[in-house]
């Protein structure tokens, strides 16, 4: 039987997941994810044509609260764990190219 | 003397402290003595807070000496799984990506423990981001089973279960997304409860599978479990999925704990349970005999969709995880790579360096299941199967008070035995996963040992928000057996 997922697909999924994989990892994950997805086929034994999807188990939908102003964390606490900061900002590499 | 103190229940200790007979400082020192002795072998903790804990213990002792009122866990040393945020110490989720993360706030359950005057001694090891069944996926350290140090403690709350069994705290909090409280409790011979989804606030619990995650107690007795639930249960405005008490009131779980459930009807699922190893099946049969002698009626029910729980779970949970873990971007907090050429590499290299293999695998599996072209075949299908599983429970609970089955098909397995084969590891979750998919409460209590003296757990599942009855049913067994009093030979 053909593998459920090949290395090209694994690399594509890794890109979507923003995960840099080494070649060794890509090969290892291809085999493992294939076996896992193969197992998932088991679900197709069940006819679910008339079954509603269930996203969570609680009998609640919209939960409202008063739109009240409350104290928030504040700049210092929010930035305290930043890997790099610049004054009151999170610092990241340049996002826009030169025009 | 020390061991007498360390073997006390939370309730005994709390009553002794509140009455002034025992000093919380003495109990806390005894716990740190045990940590000094056993922790180098067991490795249950990621961090401990000796100075902070003793200060809190002294504060509680002073309050009692001054005749001031104290909380329900007054002076009791407890531990918290390192997936719950604390403003003190670090909150790592056993991941290198959060190795130096200092939370700006406390999880609601941590606030509740502190308000109840508990002494928090440390934060326990776990599978990275609670993804795993053996604690071997911790990115920071290894935890072993106190009953046999060549074996895993179970997971993902393996540190919590090992700390409680190893007398390095009196009780602990764990989190359970697919069995992560119950399975390590079973492997380590202690009690573990996964409450109903919505019973305990998840605010400040680092998210894995948000529709499945639930915090619960790991203790040495059902009574201690009830006491812990009294402290942590209830609606929290900060968690919109914690349930309104008008619909499902929280009760005093200790009040009627010793009242046996009259005309108890227990359901079993023989074909499903037959998948467990022989010693586990034997222990289940013996446990059922205990209930029979107590007057319970045992009936057989058909729950045909439980066999599909693993497939549905590993799609739903990983899909939710792939979304939840997108927040680790190397920008706002957590590890950032030093080798980024551009901003995309800040994400992809920080994540590659920070996450362990199992976390990467689950993020990718979830991303795949949600991706264009595969969504219907995997994610939507899994949600439908989830509904069928919930239907199985609804049908069963029309005929009985609770369902009983094994917690795990095996007792604690060897370190390294399953780590290279993720699918085999997933399959070991067969008995615990359906409770999370259906949102119902389930408890693991000690019910025997195999030939290698490894503990076996009995799992009891009850309808949503019926924790009071579930605990009473578990207590009936505990009052008539001694399994929960056995302790690992490593501790004295």
According to the model, what pLDDT value does residue A60 have?
A: 76
From chain B, pick out residues whose CB is under 8 angstroms from the CB of A17. Answer: 322, 351, 360, 363-364, 367
Where is pLDDT greater, at B457 or A72?
A: B457
- Give the one of A13, A52, A80 whose C-beta lies nearest to B364's C-beta: A13
Are the Cβ atoms of A83 and B360 closer than 8 angstroms? Answer: no
- In the 8-state DSSP scheme, what is residue B168? S
Extract the tokens encoding B173.
């909090």
Region A25-42: mean pLDDT is 96
Extract the tokens encoding B200.
């305990």
What's phi and psi for B45, nearest 5 deg?
A: -105, 140
Whether A21 is covered by a domain: the verdict is yes
Whether B186 is covered by a domain: the verdict is yes
Distance CA A83, CA A92 (A): 9
Whether A75 is covered by a domain: the verdict is no
Whether A12 is covered by a domain: the verdict is yes
Whether B44 is covered by a domain: the verdict is yes
According to the model, what pLDDT value does residue B234 have?
A: 96
Q: Does A5 touch chain B (CB under 8 A)?
A: yes
Region B73-86: mean pLDDT is 98
Q: Which of B9, B133, B156, B157 is catalytic?
A: B156
According to the model, what pLDDT value does residue A64 have?
A: 86
Residue B477 has pLDDT above 90, yes or no: yes
Which of B363, B365, B380, B386 is the mutation pick for testing A, counting most A CBs within 10 A? B365
Q: Which of B56, B81, B112, B487 is catalytic?
A: B81
Region B335-341: mean pLDDT is 93
Region A66-78: mean pLDDT is 92
- Give the one of B105, B311, B367 whose C-beta lies nearest to A13's C-beta: B367
From chain B, pick out residues whose CB is under 8 angstroms from the CB of A59. Answer: 247
Strand extents, DSSP E, B162-321 = 171-176, 191-194, 214-219, 265-268, 297-300
Per-residue pLDDT tens over the stretch B174-193: 999 999 999 999 999 999 99
From the CA of B366, how many Å to the nearest CA of chain A? 9
Q: Does A42 touch chain B (CB under 8 A)?
A: yes
Per-residue pLDDT tens over the stretch B214-235: 999 999 999 999 999 999 999 9
Distance CA B422, CA B314 (A): 11
According to the model, what pLDDT value does residue A96 have?
A: 81
From chain A, pick out residues whose CB is under 8 angstroms from the CB of B333. Answer: 81-83
Number of domains in chain A: 1
Whole-number CA gyration radius for chain B: 21
Neighbours of A15 (CB within 10 A): 14
Q: Does A77 touch chain B (CB under 8 A)?
A: yes
Which residue has tokens 């100075």? Answer: B51
Q: Which residue of B has its CA nearest to A64?
A: B240
According to the model, what pLDDT value does residue B376 have?
A: 94
Are the Cβ atoms of A40 and B378 closer than 8 angstroms? Answer: yes
Distance CA B228, CA B225 (A): 5
Is B47 tagged catalytic? no
Kindly report the CATH number assigned to the domain that includes residue A27.
1.10.20
- The sign one gets for the Cα dihedral B467, B433, B425, B278 is positive
Is B23 tagged catalytic? no
Which residue has tokens 């019926």? Answer: B466
Distance CA B450, CA B241 (A): 40
Per-residue pLDDT tens over the stretch B93-131: 999 999 999 999 999 999 999 999 999 999 999 999 999
Residue-range definition of the domain harbouring residue A16? 7-45
Residue A32 has pLDDT above 80, yes or no: yes
Whether B251 is covered by a domain: the verdict is yes
Are the Cβ atoms of A20 and B101 closer than 8 angstroms? Answer: no
B-proximal residues of A, 45-74, CB under 8 Å: 45-46, 48, 51-60, 63, 65, 73
Checking ipTM against 0.90, whether it exceeds it is yes
According to the model, what pLDDT value does residue B1 have?
A: 54
Among the residue ranges A49-63, B193-207, B376-390, the one predicted with the least confidence is A49-63
According to the model, what pLDDT value does residue B46 have?
A: 98
Per-residue pLDDT tens over the stretch B10-36: 999 999 999 999 999 999 999 999 999
- In the 8-state DSSP scheme, what is residue B487? -
Are the Cβ atoms of A19 and B346 closer than 8 angstroms? Answer: no
From the CA of A28, how many Å to the nearest CA of chain B? 10
Which residues are CB-contacts of B238 (< 8 A; sequence separation ≥ 6)?
B108, B201, B203
* Type and span of the H or E element at B298: strand B297-300
According to the model, what pLDDT value does residue A56 have?
A: 86
- Give the one of B326, B334, B385 whose C-beta lies nearest to A43's C-beta: B385
Residues in chain B: 492
Whether B322 is covered by a domain: the verdict is no
According to the model, what pLDDT value does residue A2 have?
A: 59
Residue-range definition of the domain harbouring residue B474? 2-267+399-485
Distance CA B370, CA B364 (A): 10
Residue A1 has pLDDT above 60, yes or no: no
Where is pLDDT greater, at B491 or B183?
A: B183
Neighbours of B279 (CB within 10 A): 17
Name the residue among B134, B131, B171, B438 with its Cα closest to residue B306: B438
According to the model, what pLDDT value does residue A65 have?
A: 85
Residue B315 has pLDDT above 80, yes or no: yes
Residues of chain B with pLDDT > 70, as a percent, come to 100
Which residue has tokens 């779980």? Answer: B253
Kindly report the CATH number assigned to the domain that includes residue B172.
3.90.1300.10
Bridge partners for B200 per DSSP: B233
Q: Which residue of B has its CA nearest to A73?
A: B104
Among the residue ranges B32-41, B238-247, B447-456, the one predicted with the least confidence is B238-247
Are the Cβ atoms of B105 and A73 closer than 8 angstroms? Answer: yes
According to the model, what pLDDT value does residue B277 have?
A: 97
Number of domains in chain B: 1
DSSP state letters, B1-31: -HHHHHTS-HHHHHHHHHTTSS-HHHHHHHH
From the CA of A2, how many Å to the nearest CA of chain B? 17
Region A84-96: mean pLDDT is 91
Region B289-306: mean pLDDT is 98
SS3 of residue B449 by DSSP: strand
Which of B333, B419, B436, B461 is the mutation pick for testing A, counting most A CBs within 10 A? B333
Residue by residue, what is the 3-state secondary structure of A37-93?
HHHHHHHHHCCCCCCCCCCCCCCCCCCCCCCCCCCCCCHHHHHCCCCCEECCEECCC
From the CA of B308, how many Å to the nearest CA of chain A? 6
Is B487 tagged catalytic? no
Extract the tokens encoding B284.
């289940």
Are the Cβ atoms of B333 and A83 closer than 8 angstroms? Answer: yes
From the CA of B200, how many Å to the nearest CA of chain A? 13
Residue B407 has pLDDT above 90, yes or no: yes
Region B311-320: mean pLDDT is 97
Distance CA B125, CA B92 (A): 9
What's phi and psi for B437, nearest 5 deg?
A: -65, -35
Extract the tokens encoding A94.
């340049």
Name the residue among B185, B136, B164 with its Cα closest to residue B414: B136
Distance CA B188, CA B181 (A): 11
């Amino acid at each position: 039987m053909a593998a459920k997922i090949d290395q090209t697909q694994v690399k594509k999924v890794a890109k979507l997941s923003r995960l840099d994989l080494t070649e060794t990892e890509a090969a290892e994950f291809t085999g493992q994810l294939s076996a896992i997805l193969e197992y998932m086929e088991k679900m197709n034994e069940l006819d679910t044509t008339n079954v509603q999807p269930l996203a969570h188990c609680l009998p609640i939908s919209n939960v409202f609260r008063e739109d009240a102003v409350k104290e928030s964390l504040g700049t210092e606490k929010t930035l305290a764990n930043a890997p790099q900061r610049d004054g009151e900002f999170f610092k990241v590499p340049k996002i826009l190219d030169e025009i | 003397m020390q061991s007498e103190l360390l073997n006390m229940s939370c309730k005994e200790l709390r009553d002794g402290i509140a009455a002034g007979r025992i000093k919380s400082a003495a109990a806390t020192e005894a716990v740190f003595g045990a940590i000094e002795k056993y922790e180098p072998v067991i490795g249950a903790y990621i961090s401990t807070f000796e100075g902070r804990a003793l200060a809190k213990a002294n504060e509680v002792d002073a309050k009692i000496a001054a005749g001031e009122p104290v909380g329900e866990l007054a002076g009791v040393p407890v531990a918290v799984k390192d997936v719950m945020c604390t403003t003190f110490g670090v909150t790592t989720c056993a991941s290198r990506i959060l190795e130096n993360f200092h939370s700006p706030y406390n999880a609601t359950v941590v606030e509740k423990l502190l308000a109840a005057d508990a002494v928090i001694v440390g934060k326990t090891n776990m599978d990275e981001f609670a993804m795993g069944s053996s604690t071997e996926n911790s990115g920071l350290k290894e935890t072993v089973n106190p009953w046999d140090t060549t074996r895993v403690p179970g997971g993902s709350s393996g540190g919590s279960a090992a700390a409680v069994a190893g007398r390095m705290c009196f009780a602990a909090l764990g989190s359970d997304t697919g069995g992560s409280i119950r399975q390590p409790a079973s492997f380590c011979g202690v009690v573990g409860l996964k409450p109903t989804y919505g019973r305990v606030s998840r605010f400040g619990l680092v998210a894995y599978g948000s529709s499945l995650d639930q915090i619960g107690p790991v203790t040495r007795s059902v009574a201690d479990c009830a006491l812990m639930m009294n402290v942590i249960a209830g609606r929290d405005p900060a968690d919109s999925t914690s349930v309104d008490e008008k619909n499902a009131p929280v009760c005093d779980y200790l009040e009627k704990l010793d009242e046996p459930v009259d005309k108890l009807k227990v359901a079993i699922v023989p074909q499903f349970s037959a998948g467990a190893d022989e010693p586990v099946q034997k222990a289940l049969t013996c446990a059922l005999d205990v209930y029979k002698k107590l007057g319970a009626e045992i009936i057989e029910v058909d729950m045909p969709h439980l066999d599909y729980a693993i497939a549905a779970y590993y799609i739903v949970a990983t899909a939710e995880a792939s979304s939840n873990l997108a927040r680790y971007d190397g920008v706002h907090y957590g590890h950032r790579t030093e080798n980024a050429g551009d901003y995309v590499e800040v994400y992809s290299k920080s994540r590659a360096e920070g996450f362990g293999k199992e976390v990467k695998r689950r993020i990718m599996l979830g991303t795949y299941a949600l991706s264009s072209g595969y969504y219907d075949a995997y994610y939507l299908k899994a949600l439908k199967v989830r509904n069928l599983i919930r239907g199985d429970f609804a049908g069963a609970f029309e005929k009985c008070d609770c369902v009983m089955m094994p917690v795990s098909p095996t007792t604690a397995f060897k370190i390294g035995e399953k780590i290279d084969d993720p699918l085999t590891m997933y399959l070991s979750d067969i008995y615990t996963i359906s409770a999370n998919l259906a949102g119902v409460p389930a408890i693991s209590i000690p019910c025997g040992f195999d030939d290698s003296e490894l503990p076996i757990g009995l799992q009891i599942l009850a309808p949503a928000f019926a924790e009071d009855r579930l605990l009473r049913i578990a207590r009936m067994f505990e009052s008539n057996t001694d399994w929960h009093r056995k302790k690992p030979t490593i501790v004295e």
